[in-house]
Structure formats: structure tokens, C-alpha cells
Structure 1
């Protein structure tokens, strides 16, 4: 891992993400890019013919952003634990999600670490969170941080045990030098697909061998699972998990509207960090 992107709006959630990213950067000798999307620049664009651009206001905003970035870097530098972390900063004008998507493509980002407050109810349906939108659009892994974790010792990885899970297994296998905890593979979908427990275990062994995943044990949920998201979160909470890892098909458009995304829903409602991995 060479580059970790941390989008920031200078909130406490973003600071938690930076703390986690700095810890990961120390383990991998990676560089952190602290990115702020200047959405002020595009807020007035639809009203351009009625809006008188004021360069002084724009400059004042950019000065504030620069000072906030400097303050954040000083806080990190003052923490002896992160004294050796390499951090660059970037300020780019545009909508946050689009800015992040383009930055990931243009700068070969290996991991995005984002703070998230989650959303629910009508807000989730209409707006969604920036984090879930980034998960839907970037190809690299995205680590959503709702709260500052103390470790990543216990990891829950929900799976259908289908062959299309191999890319997600393989992607996480490459990250196991960072996330070294015990992996609980949670099988919750369609227990009737397999003849018996032995068949499930055999499929798990096949996926593990093909992907290179290590230190993984299979856990099978109750056959009657009404809400898969609740089953995942209940299992994670009961087992005191530090991290939930999930593959995502990154559905967009009508496919996302009608089929949704279990990974995005889990990110919106989880108090535990969630690492999403593209299997598209």
C-alpha cells in the first residue's frame, strides 16, 4: 500500500478517519493525502447568471480551509505516534463525491478512509451519506469509520459463499498484513443452497484456497433470516467485532434503486468500522 486518501470536512468524524489512516500508514509506510472538496465553488453554478462572483469571499474561504488543514497537520505532528507519517494536502473545487472519485482514479489511491455519521429514515432514502456514494463509485477499498476503534482484532466477513465472492476474498487477503485479526466468515444467505454443513465448509475451503485468505473460520446463521443487515450487525455486536468486511457489486442507476446495496445499508447503520471491497 502506497497511498491512503482521507477526505476531510474538518469534523470530528473526519478526524477519527485521519487517526485510523495514520495508524495504517505507519504499518505500511504509506503516504496520506488529506483532501478537502471545496463545494462552495459549485454551489452557485446553477444560478451563475444571477450570481455575482466575489473573489474576496472565495479567497476568504480558501484561507480558512488552509488554516484548518495546517491546524490538523499540527495536531497530528504533535502526537508522537504519528511523527513519522507522510501527509500531503489537497483542496479541489467540486462536489465531494465527484472530487473523491476523480482523485482516486488520477492518483492511484490504494485505500480511502472516511469518517461517517450514518443516516437513516427519509434522509437515507433521499440523500444518503457521502460515504455510501463513494463506496458505490470508487474501485479501491473504502474504510468507513463511525467511531475510533481500538484495534482490528476481531473481523466479521459476511458472505454468500458464491464464486463471485473470490475477488472480495482476494482483495482482503492482500490487506491481511494490516488487518491481522481473526476472520469470522458469516454465511446467512439461502442455507438450502447447500446439502449440509460439510458442503458449506467445503465451499468455504475452496474460496479460501482460491483467494489466499488466511485465519478464517466459517459461522452459519440461523436458517430463518428475515433481515440480513440486522443479522450481520447482531452477529458483529454479539462477537464484539472491531471490523466488518463486505464485498459490494457497486450497483448504480435502476439496479441500485430496485436492488439496493447491503454494504451501503450496513455502513449507514453500523457503529463498527466497515471495509467495503469491490467485486464488480
Structure 2
């Protein structure tokens, strides 16, 4: 986990993401890049930067916006609480979603940590719908965060799956993440009326999964609920988990381990940090 990308727009959720990324970086000896994306200017974007009464159609002010953002990012990285962290900054002009996805590849990022307002958030970039798109398209693992989160209390990570398919690369990355956090993996099958299977069947599947991948420090559970996405979140609440780990399918936004766009729904509604990464087609 050498390089961590943190999209940063000076909002509280992006600050939470940076704080959490710094904790990971301290433990994994990683570098952090703060990325700010300047969109084509609007009246609202000028107000956010503290610039009033500016005609957003005037391209000359893009330079002024760049200089303003550059100064504000410099204030962030020189703040006392980040003094021991290796943080660089980058400013790009363009569409935030596309730019973030491109920068993951261009900068060879190992992890993306992004703040999100969730499904009920404001109509801004870090609203849930945009976080959902990032989770679907990012080519590296993603951790989405809605609230301030500390690394050290992360002791339980919920991993939900239907266990019908396995992905060696995915499991390897999940085990690395578990090792970084030194956490217990709570492995769970969400049993729903639409896809009911017996306890004996599910227990056997999970035991075979654990044996195949030499999983350690884990528990196995079956949780009954009417749908998978709410079942995952409610199970995490019931076991007092600290994080949720899920796989997603890049091409369709559909998990091989889970049916439907469940990972994206969980990202939108979970108050827990959610770690996601892609499964092979």
C-alpha cells in the first residue's frame, strides 16, 4: 500500500478521509496525494473559494481559482496534525469523477480514500451517487467514509458474500487489508427469502472458503434479512463492527459474491467505513 489518493474539496467529509488516510499511511509507511479538481467555474464554486461577485464565464478567473486552491492546500498539508505525514498535492481542471479515475491509473495509486455524504447528502461531488460511481470504476481498492473515523478501534471487519464464486486477487487484497488493520474478519452470508439456502449448506461453503484461502482471525455467521444490503449493515451494527468489506464487478457494478449493485447501495447507506475492490470479470 505505497500510495494513497484522497480527493479533497475542503469539506468535512474530505477532511475525515484525509485524517483516516494519514492513519493508514502511518501504519503502512505510505505516501498520500491530495487531489483537488477544479470544475468549469460556476457562481457556487466561486463562493466556495471565498470569491464574490465574479462572472464565472471569465476564463481569466480559472487561474485565480487555481492559485486560491493551491494556497489553501498548502495550508492543509502544513497544519500541525499532518506534520509527520508524507503528503503531496495536485490540482486538475476537469470533471471530478473522470479525473479521480484517471489519476488512480496515472499516479499508480494503491488505495483511494474518499469522503461521502451518503445517499441523503447534498447535491455536491461527494454525494452518494458520485461515491457509488467511484466504487464501480476505480481500479484500486476504495475506502468510503461518511464520518470521522479512527484506525485503532477497527477491530472487526464484516465481509459478506454469497460464496458462489471466489477471486484469488480479491481475497489476497482483503487479507492484506485485514493484516494492516490487525482486525478480526466477521464472515457472513445474508440469507434472504428470495435466495434462501440452508444453514448446513451455507456453513459448509464458508468453511471451504476459509480453508481454501487460509483465513485466520475470523468468525462465521448466517444472518437472515429481507434483502442483502440492509442485512449487511444491520449485521455490522449487531456485531458492533468497525468496517465493511465487499467486492464489486467493474463492468456492471454488480458483485460476483453478491447479486445486484449491493456494494454501491451499502456505500450509500452505511455509517461504517466501507472497503471495496473489484472482482474479476
* TM-score, length basis structure 1: 0.83
CA offsets per residue over residues 201-245 of structure 1, 9 Å max, x none? 3322332233343212110112xx322211111111122211011
Query: Using the alignment, how far apart are the partners of 1:249 and 1:232 within structure 2?
Result: 18
CA offsets per residue over residues 92-146 of structure 1, 9 Å max, x none? 111111001111111211000001111149x7xxx85221111110121100011
Q: State the superposition RMSD in angstroms.
A: 2.9
Partner of 1:104: 104
- Displacement of 1:8: 0.7
Kindly report which structure 2 residues correspond to 1:52-131, keeping only aligned pairs within 5 A, or say none.
Answer: 54-75=58-79, 78-79=80-81, 82-120=82-120, 129-131=129-131
* Bigger share in helix: 1
Q: Secondary structure at the match of 1:208?
A: helix
Q: Compared with structure 1, are the counterparts of its residues 115 and 69 closer, same or farther at alpha carbon in structure 2 (3 Å cutoff)?
A: same
Structure 2 spans left out of the alignment, 5+ residues: 44-54
Query: Using the alignment, how far apart are the partners of 2:78 and 2:181 within structure 1?
Result: 27
Query: Using the alignment, how far apart are the partners of 1:153 and 1:119 within structure 2?
Result: 26
Query: Using the alignment, how far apart are the partners of 2:229 and 2:199 within structure 1?
Result: 24
| Pick aligned residue for 2:221 from 209, 219, 222 | 219
Q: Compared with structure 1, are the counterparts of its residues 111 and 132 closer, same or farther at alpha carbon in structure 2 (3 Å cutoff)?
A: same
Q: Compared with structure 1, are the counterparts of its residues 94 and 212 closer, same or farther at alpha carbon in structure 2 (3 Å cutoff)?
A: farther
Query: Using the alignment, how far apart are the partners of 2:21 and 2:277 within structure 1?
Result: 17
Partner of 1:139: 139
Q: Secondary structure at the match of 1:163?
A: coil
Aligned length: 261
Query: Using the alignment, how far apart are the partners of 2:242 and 2:90 within structure 1?
Result: 30
| Pick aligned residue for 1:207 from 196, 206, 209 | 209
Asked whether the equivalents of residues 191 and 222 of structure 2 are also in contact (C-alpha less than 8 Å), the reply is no
Partner of 1:46: none
- Displacement of 1:194: 5.5
* TM-score, length basis structure 2: 0.83
Structure 1 spans left out of the alignment, 5+ residues: 44-50
